[in-house]
Chains A and B, each alone.
Chain A
Amino acid sequence: MMGTILQSRLLPIKLSHSSLLFSPSQHSRSNLKFTSKSSPSTITMASIKVHGVPMSTATMRVLAALYEKELEFELIPVDMRAGAHKQEPFLSLNPFGQIPALQDGDLTLFESRAITEYIADEYSEKGEKLMCPGCNKVKALTKVWLNVEGQQFDPIASKIAFERVFKGMFGMTTDPAAVQDLEGKLVRVLDIYEARLSKSEFLACDCFTLADLHHLPVIHYLMGTDSKALFESRPKVCEWVKKITARPAWAKVVDLQKQ
């Protein structure tokens, strides 16, 4: 059973992908509360709430950033099957009717890439640095590769993930011509990544940044399909994928899917 907000209850709560027991907190509302250091059943008051689901790529993007920053947060499931994301109360959080939305105190945000940027800025002193250290000129390179992910990589790669992975989940059939066309486009992008990663350890600079992180969810899905060949056949890209998917924060995100 899934609801948009879980009420405090002495009952096991089953979600489509997880099953968690929690005891009542001292607060009137209990939700799934996670910290990077404690088990999911720890009850603490978190000011950060994420409305989304662990299998959503955009939600995963935000969760990864929160784990990298070692921030406490609550994951509030959204009943996608019931169309909760297209109705109130969710629409008041994101009028575009898409997950995730994030609340931090009285601030409400949507668009995963705006949320992660906010997290990296607001909590810049906590956990991992997610922007290139230094002056504006160095930060500017992170902005470039953030936009590359959002404007060059994701429009193609997310469509491949939809064809190869999500269509199956919805009982639809993969379109092989579409996959071929999209892969033809993706390899041109990956060739540029290969050249870039021959000059730099990570996309923006020699440190892991949001620009790398933003790729994780879609790459995660594609690496579970035949499209992985595109990544594995490019040595620098392959190495980069291995590095970024091995990060402990990312492992925690993937774990959420198994619960």
Chain B
Amino acid sequence: MGGGIKVHGVPISTATMRVLATLYEKGLDFELVPVDMKAGAHKQEPLISLNPFGQIPALLDGDLTLFESRAITDYIADEYNNKGEKLLCQSCKKLKAITKVWLQVEGQQFDPIASKLAFERVFKGMLGMTTDPAAVEDLEAKLVKVLDIYEARLSKSPFLAGDCFTLADLHHLPIIYYLMGTDSKKLFESRPKVSEWIKKITARPSWVKVLNLQKQ
């Protein structure tokens, strides 16, 4: 049992959600330790000792402290490989390598654009700032090029890495979730395979649990 796992973060943070989704997929016990972002707690001690970059989440597992959500999820998937859902295609070296490719695609091709779009459309409003329509247009133009590649990919396999749901799909959940609540959803909905993939991954019980945390 992962009784010793603590996540420092907040349920609305996309990076925190990425980690929570993974913990739920693995059926692991954990404690969510809230961080007072408004007070800037993430930029001060004691959080800074957990993550010198002053960002959430950080994860503690016993005496191990980790930060960077994608390192945390990778660690959870490895360390708790035999628990809950498989999140990496372990058995086949080829599939494992292809999963690594699409993990990088999310981190290097999708997220840099999509997270800025989510910031414009969603988080700016929360922070009392105004969406910049020119920036949105520019970002959406870049995102559609990525989504066209996803459409072609998902025409060949049900999930990004292959036939099974992996971390490569999971990592997209938080940002896609936010964008689907905005006009940007049309970019996803107009692409049948992408749309189908989103319906599948957002319907997963673990993801529903993450969203429930936001409502509490």
Residues of A within 8 A of B (CB): 95-96, 106-107, 109-111, 113-114, 117-118, 121-122, 136-137, 139-141, 143-144, 146-148, 150-152, 155, 189, 192, 195-196
Instruction: Tell me if B70 counts as interface (CB < 8 A to partner A).
Output: yes
Among candidates B53, B75, B96, B149, residue contacting A121 with C-beta atoms closer than 8 Å: B96
CA distance A144 to B94 in the complex (A): 24
A111 touches B97 (CB 8 A): no
A109 touches B53 (CB 8 A): no
CB neighbours (8 Å) of A189 from chain B are: 53
CA distance A208 to B75 in the complex (A): 20
CB neighbours (8 Å) of A107 from chain B are: 94, 97-98
B148 CB to nearest A CB, Å: 9
B103 touches A114 (CB 8 A): yes
CB neighbours (8 Å) of B52 from chain A are: 192, 195-196
CA distance A144 to B146 in the complex (A): 26
A139 touches B70 (CB 8 A): no
Residues of B within 8 A of A (CB): 52-53, 61-62, 64, 66-68, 70-71, 74-75, 78-79, 93-94, 96-98, 100-101, 103-105, 107-109, 112, 146, 149, 152-153
A21 CB to nearest B CB, Å: 34
CB neighbours (8 Å) of B98 from chain A are: 107, 109
A114 touches B53 (CB 8 A): no
Give the number of A-B contacts (CB < 8 Å): 84
CB neighbours (8 Å) of A152 from chain B are: 53
CA distance A122 to B93 in the complex (A): 8
B100 touches A114 (CB 8 A): yes
A136 touches B97 (CB 8 A): no
B97 touches A144 (CB 8 A): no
A17 CB to nearest B CB, Å: 25
A147 touches B68 (CB 8 A): yes
B103 touches A140 (CB 8 A): no
B interface secondary structure, majority? helix
B93 touches A147 (CB 8 A): no
CB neighbours (8 Å) of B79 from chain A are: 136-137, 140
A interface secondary structure, majority? helix
B94 touches A151 (CB 8 A): no
Closest to B109 in A: A96
Among candidates A109, A141, A196, residue contacting B101 with C-beta atoms closer than 8 Å: A109
Q: When A and B form their complex, which 5 residue pairs have the shortest distance between CB atoms, in order from nearest? A: A111-B104, A147-B68, A143-B71, A114-B100, A140-B75
B153 CB to nearest A CB, Å: 7
CB neighbours (8 Å) of A144 from chain B are: 66-68, 71
- 5 A-B pairs (CB sep. < 8 Å): A96-B149, A111-B105, A137-B61, A147-B70, A192-B52
- Indicate whether A140 sits within 8 Å of B66 (C-beta atoms), given known contacts A111-B101, A152-B53: yes
CA distance A241 to B100 in the complex (A): 27
CB neighbours (8 Å) of B74 from chain A are: 140, 143
B174 CB to nearest A CB, Å: 15
CA distance A152 to B75 in the complex (A): 19
Closest to A146 in B: B71
Closest to B74 in A: A143
CA distance A171 to B103 in the complex (A): 34
CA distance A189 to B55 in the complex (A): 13
B108 touches A139 (CB 8 A): no
B96 touches A140 (CB 8 A): no
CB neighbours (8 Å) of A155 from chain B are: 112
Among candidates A95, A122, A137, A196, residue contacting B152 with C-beta atoms closer than 8 Å: A95
B151 CB to nearest A CB, Å: 11
A109 touches B97 (CB 8 A): yes
A137 touches B64 (CB 8 A): yes
B150 CB to nearest A CB, Å: 9
A190 CB to nearest B CB, Å: 12
Max chain B C-beta neighbours (<10 A), residue from A107, A122, A147, A155: A147
- Indicate whether A111 sits within 8 Å of B108 (C-beta atoms), given known contacts A136-B78, A136-B79, A139-B78: yes
- Indicate whether A118 sits within 8 Å of B71 (C-beta atoms), given known contacts A95-B152, A96-B109, A150-B107: no
CA distance A9 to B53 in the complex (A): 53
